[in-house]
Structure 1
Amino acid sequence: ANLAGRFAAKEATMKALGTGVRGVSWKDIEVVRAESGAPSVKLHGRAQKRAERLQVSEISLSISHSREYAVAFVVAQRDETP
C-alpha cells in the first residue's frame, strides 16, 4: 500500500502541474517524508521547470491508503503577489 500511495502521489502531482502522466518523468517527482511523517513532494528536472513556469510556490500532498486502495490529493499553490 505504501508503494501504491507514492505512485498515486506522483500521478496527482503530474495532474496538478497540468501535464498528465506523459508530461514529465516519474523520476522527476520524489515523494519524501518529514521527521513528523508528513509526506511532501520534491520536484526535479522537467517537473521543476514546469512548476517554475506556472509560478507554483507550494505543493501540498495528502496520501491515504487501505489494504486494497490508495489515493493521493495534491494542491499546487501559486503566489499571486505582484
Structure 2
Amino acid sequence: MKPLPFPYPINIGTDIVHLPRIAALLTRRDESLTRFTGRILCTQEQDDFRRRFHKLFTPQPPNIKPPTIQKPDVQPPVIEPATSCAPPISAEMTRWLAGRFAAKEAARKAAPEGAASIGWKDVMVRVQERTPGNTKQPSDSRRPEIVYLGDEERGIPARIGQLSISHDGEYVVATVLAAG
C-alpha cells in the first residue's frame, strides 16, 4: 500500500542554541550587542528589547571632577569620557536574545519556501497580550507566537505561527508550527 501524504499543509521548524555561544558573540567587541540586535530583531522587537532592559540603556552622566587647586582663575571641571559605551551583558539578556535567535531560526525553517526564502527581520516573536475575562489563559502566562510579517506591496499577507521556547541550563530550544 502506498503511504498517504499528511492531510494538512503544515511545516515544523526547530532550533537549539548554546547560551555560551551567544554570550561570546555578544561580548566579542564593543558594538557586538548593537550589531547582533540590529541584525536579527525587527523594529518592534528592538523596542521590546529596550523596554525590557531599559535600565542598561539609560545614559549615565559623565564623571565630573572638580579642579584640585582653587586659584583665582577657576578652571572648568574636567569631564572624563565613560570607559565603555556598551551596556553590561546580563545572563537574563543573553537568555532573552538566545530565545529570540532560536525562535527566528525555527520560524525560518518552518517557512513554506524554506529558511533561505525569508530573513531574520521578516519574522517577529510576539507575546500574546493578556485579554481580560479570558478564563482559559492564566493571568501570568502569556504564550509567545511567531508572526510572519508579509509584504503588502507584493500582496503577501502576514501570518501567525505557533511557537514553543524552552530554556534548560546552557541551552535554549524553539519549535515553530506554521501553515504551509
TM-score over 0.5 for the alignment? yes
Query: Normalising by the residue count of structure 2, what TM-score does the alignment of the two structures yield?
Result: 0.34
Name the residue aligned to 1:16: 110
User: Is residue 65 from structure 1 mapped to residue 132 from structure 2 by the alignment?
Assistant: no
Partners of 2:110 and 2:173 in 1: CA distance: 14
Which structure dedicates a bigger proportion of its chain to strand?
Answer: 1
Moved more, 34-43 or 24-33: 34-43
Q: Report percent identity of matched pairs.
A: 43
Name the larger-Rg structure: 2
Q: 1:58 to 1:31 in 2, by over 3 A?
A: closer
Aligned Cα RMSD in Å? 2.3
Structure 1 position 29, deviation (Å): 0.6
User: Is residue 32 from structure 1 mapped to residue 126 from structure 2 by the alignment?
Assistant: yes
In structure 1, stretches of 5+ residues that fail to align are: none
Partners of 2:148 and 2:163 in 1: CA distance: 13
Partners of 1:2 and 1:69 in 2: CA distance: 12
Which structure dedicates a bigger proportion of its chain to helix?
Answer: 1
Aligned length: 70
Partners of 1:64 and 1:26 in 2: CA distance: 20
Runs of 4+ in 1 over 2 A off after TM superposition: none
Partners of 1:67 and 1:32 in 2: CA distance: 24
Q: 1:42 to 1:58 in 2, by over 3 A?
A: closer
Structure 1 position 58, deviation (Å): 5.0
Structure 1 position 43, deviation (Å): 1.6
In structure 2, stretches of 5+ residues that fail to align are: 1-94, 131-140
Q: Is the 8 A contact 2:108 2:119 kept in 1?
A: no
Secondary structure of 1:10's counterpart equals: helix
Amino acid at match of 2:114: T
